Amino acid sequence: MKQNKIFYALVKNFFKILLKIYNRCSVRWLEELNPNEKFIVASNHLSNLDPLVVGCFFPRSLKYFAKEELFVNPIFGGCIRALGAMPVSRADNASAAGALRAFMKLYEEGSDVLIFPEGGRSLDGKLQPLEAGVALVAAREKAPILPVFIHGTFEAMPTGAAFVKPKKITVTFGKPLRFSPEEYASKDARKIIMSRLTDSMKELEKNNS
């Protein structure tokens, strides 16, 4: 479905202002974004608030999949849909191969895509082991990865919470991970990509703790 650019801009700016005021949200970039590059944006995952936070502060429109339960509320569902979310059922989400094909299709269609490589929300607020699906997509599409680390959404909206608490949130967009043609083509491509992404995410966590 074609995105309504006016509604997108209104929703994005509304939540950006709200997050800055209510959650004192701060954003840091470790490297200026190249407007000519299309990224796989890989973020840690602490809360249902995370896609909204990343979507608001990433300067371009992001596409990502969200569980269909988040669309039950028509207001919230409409807002996250405006910010690039697309509903996926539990059955669809259970098919790893199907999910990865869907991400690759979005990327091939020209979108920056958002992936949470931990595979689910952290239950203790700490970075969980990363799953290799993100590396498969990156290797297949020869795509650079932009690591992102969010701090504070675990406290602001933990699992099961119905409301957002006024806890401070910080978002750090790390240095993009770029790989050579030889690395993408290597039989160890996924291992190479996962190693660098894991190191980058751990470093971002260390600097945000």
Domain boundaries, the chain: 5-208
Q: Provide CB contacts within 8 A for 87, sequence distance 6+.
A: 65, 66, 67, 68, 70, 71, 77, 81
Given this model, what pLDDT does residue 168 score? 97
Q: Classify domain 5-208 at the CATH topology level.
A: Glycerol-3-phosphate (1)-acyltransferase (3.40.1130)
Unique residue bearing structure tokens 């929300």:
121
Pairing of strands 112-115, 62-67: parallel
142 Rama sector, left if φ>0, alpha if ψ -120 to 50, beta otherwise: left
Mean per-residue pLDDT over the chain, rounded = 89
**Among 62-71, 88-97, 180-189, 193-202, which is the least confidently predicted range?**
88-97
Look at residues 202, 146, 143, 149 and name the one whose alpha carbon lies nearest to residue 176. Answer: 146
Higher-pLDDT residue of 174 and 6 is 174
Q: What is the DSSP letter of 142?
A: T
- Which SS3 state, helix, strand or coil, does residue 40 take? strand
pLDDT score of 190 more than 80: yes
pTM (global) more than 0.85 = yes
Residue 209 has pLDDT above 80, yes or no: no
94, pLDDT greater than 80: no
Mean pLDDT, range 115-123, rounded to an integer: 90
Residue 198, CA atoms < 13 Å, CB-side half-sphere: 14
Give pLDDT tens digits for 72-81: 877 778 778 8
